[in-house]
Amino acid sequence: MILSVSRRTDIPNYYSEWFLNRIKEGYLYVRNPFHARQVSKITVSPERVDCIVFWTKNPEPMFSRLDELDAYPYYFQFTLTGYGRDIESHIPHKKKVMIPIFQTLSDRIGREKVIWRYDPILFTDRYSPQYHIRAFEQIAKELHGYTSKCVLSFVDLYAKNKKSMEELRCFSLTEQDLTAFAAEIAQIADRYGMRAASCAEAADWSSVGIEHSCCIDKELIEHISGCKIRAGKDRNQRNECGCIESIDVGAYDTCRNGCRYCYANDSPERVLQNCRLYDAHSPLLCGSLTKDDRMTERDAKSWKENQLTLWEL
């Protein structure tokens, strides 16, 4: 199995102690986000986990314990944008703090295992296409040699971020202008030694140098793990999403990054309420089991293909 850590919250930034404690214990619990009384027990031993995919805006809290992951293949999706505190209220200064953290992580684990995400892209009067082009180039220049790939996506409207998007007065580009924007981004990425790729976008920008990509990336996982992976497309994601199957170990309404475009939080008050329940030594993130919970053990096995095929002999 592949662990997604996590689309629902920033575990490396805020809950890394919990996750690494669970790795040490060999199991964790995940509450079903749509059926709150259903809880799954998941064994997370190296024999079962084929790869761990981390999603974060700040992995620094993990640095002192990264060695505890030596038995596991893993990589990071590291979001680094040009937004200020008006959009990403709890993210430290990008140039002074976050870029050096990105560089440090890359030096420790290798550039192929740190994917730069410049997403989601939204357009406002302040964050115009021209602004994004300048910000992207400034960051790309600093990350030259520290990553091989940059993933782009554009903001999507969800029930949880619709009000914020309206308050920010976001606007869309025409198809022609969006293609021209994508072409400039691709040229900058290429100039600084990176492949530009899109995430869960229906549009095809291959003609301007941007490939379709995915976050739970079968090809990258096979490269990192050194094994063929039998997993198929994740049917729980959008049609445009190319990710393969994974198990997400996070929880909604627990991310403290404070991003205006967030699809995972209902409100700051709900996040604060859940964070008060956090216990780094609990098998369950931000909460505990109750007498009404129904526990099942998830049948999650390795997808590694250990036998060579005819074409590999």
- The model's pLDDT over 164-208, given as tens digits with 9 standing for 90+, comes to 888 899 999 999 999 999 999 999 999 999 999 998 788 889 999
- pLDDT at position 162 is 82
Structural domain span for residue 117: 2-312
Q: Return the CA Rg of the chain.
A: 19
Sequence-ordered list of residues with C-beta below 8 angstroms from that of 161, at least 6 positions apart, any chain = 155, 260, 261, 262, 263
pLDDT of residue 240: 76
- Rounded CA gap, 179 and 44, in Å? 42
233 pairs with which residues across the strands? 244
Q: Write down the pLDDT at residue 311.
A: 41
Output the six-digit token pair for 256.
Answer: 């403290």
The DSSP code sequence of 210-236 is EEEE-SS-HHHHHHHHTSEE---B-TT
Per-residue pLDDT tens digits for 126-145: 999 999 999 999 999 999 99
- Looking at residue 237, its pLDDT comes to 80
Q: Which residues of the chain have pLDDT under 50?
A: 308-313
Total domains in the chain come to 1
Closest residue by Cα to residue 29 from 210, 212, 281, 271? 281
- pLDDT score of 174: 93
pLDDT given for residue 41 in this prediction: 97
Asked if 123 and 170 touch (Cβ cutoff 8 Å), the reply is yes
Residue 306: per-residue pLDDT: 65
Rounded CA-CA distance 27/42 in Å is 5
Instruction: Please tell me the predicted confidence (pLDDT) of residue 114.
Output: 98
